[in-house]
Amino acid sequence: EGVEQAVKEGGGIIFPSSSQLAQKLRIPEREFHDVKKEIKEDFKTEMTQIGAKNPDIGVNSAGNIVLRNQQTGATIETNVPLNSYGR
């Protein structure tokens, strides 16, 4: 079995795969897209700031959500812990 690697950015930011994010949130992978919809609803302003309609979801060293524009690579860090979306 292949091991999925989280993509590392500078400053302790990583962009885990959806299965890795689901694991961090303690939810089944199939539920991750519902959680991603919630995150996108909550961070519309930040998504606009980086010009992203469907951002990659990452976490920084503090465990807070980071959004990344898939096309440009622009990122924005939030002060919201990823685990606040856990079930």
**Which pLDDT value is given to residue 9?**
58
DSSP 34-86: HHHHHHHHHTHHHHHHTT-SS-EEEE-TTSEEEEE-TTT--EEEEEEEGGGG-
The pLDDT mean for the chain works out to 90
Evaluated on CA atoms 39, 6, 59, 81, the torsion sign reads positive
**Which residue, 64, 49, 72, 51, is CA-closest to 13?**
64
Q: What is the pLDDT of residues 18-56, one digit of tens each?
A: 999 999 999 999 999 999 999 999 999 999 999 999 999
pTM score, whole prediction: 0.86
**Which pLDDT value is given to residue 87?**
79
**Which pLDDT value is given to residue 1?**
41
**Which pLDDT value is given to residue 7?**
58
Q: Is 21 helix (H, G, I), strand (E, B) or coil?
A: helix
**Residue 80: pLDDT over 90:** yes
